[in-house]
Amino acid sequence: MTASKGRAKGTNRLPLLAQAGPVSLWMILFVTIPMLFIIFISFMTRGTFGGVEYTPSLESYQTMMEVTYFHIIVKSLGVAAETTIACLIVGYPFAYYIARKPPATASRLITLLMIPFWTNSLMRLNAWMLIFQTNGPVNNFMLNTHMIDKPITFIFTDGLVLLGLITNYLPFAVLPMYSSIEKLEKPILEASADLGATPGVTLLKVTLPLTFPGIFSAIILTFIPALGTYVITDMLGGGKVLYIGNIIKNQFGTIRNWPLGAALSVLLLVITALMIFIYSRFAKVEDMEVV
Amino acid sequence: MKKKLMAMILGLVVIFALTACGGGDSGTSGDSGSKELNIFMWSDYISDETIADFEKETGIKVNLSYMNDNADSVNKLTAGAGDEYDLIMTCDAYMESLINGGYLEELDLSQIPNSENINKAYWTEQNQKFCVPYLMNYIYVVYDKERCPIEITCYNDLIKPEMKGQLGSIDGARNLFPIALIALGYDPNSKEESEIAEAYEWLKKYNANVVAYGSTETNIVNGTISAMLTYDGNTAEAMAAMGDNNTLTVAPFKKDPVQLGFDLYVIPKGAKHMDAAYAFLNYITDAEVMAKNLVENPYSCPNDAAVAAASEEYRNDPAFDFDYKENIFFQEDVGDAIKIYDKYYQKLKVDTGE
């Protein structure tokens, strides 16, 4: 009796297992296990030439509490926030513009937005370097038109790093907002206008709240990678402008302190989780528009 | 019913995918004999032609993998790299630890007759048992005679306020700390934490003058910096890029010694293709082969016969034109003190934000 009941249950579960199984397996293999391993390493001791000695220690977390790390983290959060805000300010009208075009035009515009991304990001970063370098076109133009009498050092400054970050993450902000705005039904906006709302009020009270899921995924999709990036900051910052991503990368390279690198990565994980948690207080995570 | 069918198909697909992966894996690990040589080294550090000629001459297939940092090769060696590689490039600074740790195969020099070409001043008796030097590089100061605000004759000139925003530099704890230690009058390979801490304070001033770490040769050519702490090979590239309008000059140091480092090949313990490794080491120490390789890799070379056979251009390269070639120091293995260096190096890197 019990055996047959068990079998019956088993057959019922098969479809579920077949559908969810591969995904779960994938997630466990490629997300959960590596993540647990990072957390594990962060509680170990560094080896002399890099690597990890399996002696438990809280040293990494103690180091992380030093004031200098706090400064770096605050600075990184600041730059990631600036990048995100700039991407939203530029990206929202842009997404709105595309979404209000007929579908054929819209898809063409989206393609245009994506085309730069078919080139390697290192090439794009090198292009910024060439444009802004001391004897590059920008400086030459300004010298020739007597706007300045000495070349300005643009490269290896915080400003150029920010520019690099914004241009790199803009599409990640535009796409989710586009898909949110596109779903917005025109009659709702017309109703708002009919009821006497000015376009400004409609934007603030109707459009923005209804497209909030798109905006929030735009925030997540720009803020989190901007916080963790090191390639952009390394290249445009010349190894002098350091953010948390560079510090983590250095731990696994020249500084050879893997546990500290792991501990800092755990911190990034916590920040990310916190952001998702905040979002879940406002709206359903399932509604998040991740194209 | 339809759902059940879909589930079945999905399940089958998954099983098929998994077994397919398994099958693929087991197929690749065949033994292809000793006609193969696996080398782990810096990228862009040996000419493709040199490798191709070796393959043609010996019929041995060379597989090159590249390191990003000296720590990479040390990590590989200490983890037991014999299964994966037959030759690994490392630098003189790590030799003592690697020899003491028993990570290297002892060399039989009778199988590398061309090693006679190497100047013994650059190849200590102990190292002769375990490594073959490949190329070497001076780490010195170069500046632009026209743009640099001051004439640089010692390391302390680099931290003068006039140099603010003028300086480019290579990176790495064991490249930066020695110059600070020398400037302060200490042993460049000090193991004393108090001295390293003082060097850190010196480097903070140095760091304030640095515009960017890395890519020194590009930055001096495009005018971003006017002086640099760099390798002689990178200087050769920068000078060549400036061509007839070259205004770069090697700083005329009077007293301070400069660092001379070696990149060398070692055979990891338990390497599988020893014969191929020996064949390669003998090939690369041949005067003609190395002379040809120097065209694309214009670094200083410990192989005297190769330098004699090298092109006029190489021998007259202004990057090697300085008169204190003997006033040098080596990066020694500092053992566990490397952790002290890393700690202060980290501090230096993190503090830059303020």
Give chain B positions within 8 Å (CB) of A133: 222-224
Residues B95 and B117 in one domain: yes
The answer to whether residue A65 neighbours chain B at the CB level (below 8 Å) is: no
In percent, the amount of chain A with pLDDT more than 90 equals 34
Residues B236 and B333 in one domain: yes
| Domain contains B144 | yes
Residues B218 and B341 in one domain: yes
B89's CB contacts (< 8 A; 6+ apart) are B39, B40, B41, B42, B45, B67, B73, B134, B263, B264, B265, B266
* Minimum distance, in Å, between the CA of residue A206 and any CA atom of chain B: 41
Distance CA B346, CA A266 (A): 19
All structural domains of chain A, each given as residue ranges with its CATH number in brackets, are 66-287 (1.10.3720.10)
Which residue of chain B is at minimal alpha-carbon distance from A52?
Answer: B75
* Minimum distance, in Å, between the CA of residue B96 and any CA atom of chain A: 13
Give chain B positions within 8 Å (CB) of A241: 352
Residues B108 and B69 in one domain: yes
Which residue of chain A is at minimal alpha-carbon distance from B223?
Answer: A134
A76's CB contacts (< 8 A; 6+ apart) are A227, A243, A244, A245
Given this model, what pLDDT does residue B17 score? Answer: 46
At A117, the pLDDT band (50, 70, 90 cuts) reads confident
Given this model, what pLDDT does residue B62 score? Answer: 95
Residues B160 and B215 in one domain: yes
| Domain contains B24 | no
Residues B74 and B156 in one domain: no
CB A142 within 8 A of CB A154: no
| Domain contains B59 | yes
Q: Determine how β-strand B210-213 pairs with β-strand B167-169.
A: parallel
Q: For residue A75, is pLDDT > 60?
A: yes
Given this model, what pLDDT does residue A271 score? Answer: 87
A202's CB contacts (< 8 A; 6+ apart) are A189, A192, A193
Residues B121 and B193 in one domain: no
Predicted confidence (pLDDT) per residue in A8-18, tens digit: 454 577 777 77
Which residues, numbered 10 to 49 in chain A, qualify as contacts with chain B under a Cβ-Cβ cut-off of 8 Å?
A: 14-15, 17-19, 21-22, 46, 48-49
Residues B197 and B245 in one domain: yes
* Minimum distance, in Å, between the CA of residue B188 and any CA atom of chain A: 19
Residues constituting chain B:
354
Given this model, what pLDDT does residue B269 score? Answer: 94
Residues B287 and B229 in one domain: no
Residues B179 and B223 in one domain: yes
| Domain contains B306 | yes
Give chain B positions within 8 Å (CB) of A46: 339
Predicted confidence (pLDDT) per residue in A230-264, tens digit: 989 888 888 887 889 988 988 887 777 889 999 99
* Minimum distance, in Å, between the CA of residue B342 and any CA atom of chain A: 5
- Whole-prediction pTM: 0.77
Q: For residue A2, is pLDDT > 80?
A: no
Q: For residue A284, is pLDDT > 90?
A: no
Residues B311 and B293 in one domain: yes
In percent, the amount of chain A with pLDDT more than 70 equals 92
DSSP assignment letter at A285: G
- Residue recorded with tokens 């041949």: B286
Give the closest of A21, A240, A256 to B352, CB-based: A240
Q: Do A240 and B213 touch (CB under 8 A)?
A: yes
The CATH code of the domain that includes B291 is 3.40.190.10
Give chain A positions within 8 Å (CB) of B78: 49, 51
B143's CB contacts (< 8 A; 6+ apart) are B151, B152, B226, B227, B228, B248, B249, B251
Tokens of A92: 């929202």
Given this model, what pLDDT does residue A226 score? Answer: 93
| Domain contains B1 | no
Given this model, what pLDDT does residue B12 score? Answer: 44
The complex's ipTM works out to: 0.75
User: Judging by beta carbons within 10 Å of its beta carbon (0-12, 13-18, 19+), is residue B2 exposed, middle or buried?
Assistant: exposed
Which residue of chain A is at minimal alpha-carbon distance from B334?
Answer: A48
| Domain contains B16 | no
Mean pLDDT, chain A, whole residue set: 86
- Residue recorded with tokens 């002769």: B128
Distance CA B287, CA B200 (A): 43
Give chain B positions within 8 Å (CB) of A52: none
| Domain contains B67 | yes
* Minimum distance, in Å, between the CA of residue B35 and any CA atom of chain A: 32
Rg over alpha carbons for chain A, rounded to the nearest Å, is 24
Give the closest of A19, A238, A255 to B7, CB-based: A19
**Domain count of the fold of chain B:** 2
N-term to C-term CA, chain B: 67
For residue A91, give the 3-state DSSP assignment: helix
Tens digit of pLDDT per residue, chain B (354 long)?
A: 445 544 544 444 444 444 444 333 333 333 445 589 999 999 989 999 999 999 999 999 999 999 887 878 888 898 888 889 999 999 988 888 889 889 999 999 999 999 999 998 888 888 899 999 999 989 999 999 999 999 999 999 999 999 999 999 998 888 999 999 999 999 999 999 999 999 999 999 999 999 999 889 989 998 899 999 999 989 998 999 998 889 999 999 999 999 999 999 999 999 999 999 999 999 999 999 999 999 888 889 999 999 999 999 898 899 998 999 889 999 888 878 888 998 899 888 887 544
Q: Do A18 and B7 touch (CB under 8 A)?
A: yes
Q: Closest by alpha carbon to B258, among B266, B250, B269?
A: B250
* Minimum distance, in Å, between the CA of residue A212 and any CA atom of chain B: 35
Average pLDDT rounded to a whole number, residues A127-141: 90
Tokens of A32: 């959960």
Given this model, what pLDDT does residue B308 score? Answer: 93
Distance CA B125, CA B127 (A): 5
Predicted confidence (pLDDT) per residue in B186-240, tens digit: 999 999 999 999 999 999 999 999 999 988 998 999 889 999 999 998 999 899 9
Cα–Cα distances (Å) from A209 to A184, A215, A284, B311, B322, in that order, read 11, 9, 14, 72, 70
Q: For residue A7, is pLDDT > 70?
A: no
Given this model, what pLDDT does residue A282 score? Answer: 73
| Domain contains B22 | no
Q: Closest by alpha carbon to B134, among B287, B341, B301?
A: B301
At A213, the pLDDT band (50, 70, 90 cuts) reads confident
Residues B183 and B250 in one domain: yes
Range of the domain at B277: 36-136+261-315
Q: Do A22 and B213 touch (CB under 8 A)?
A: no
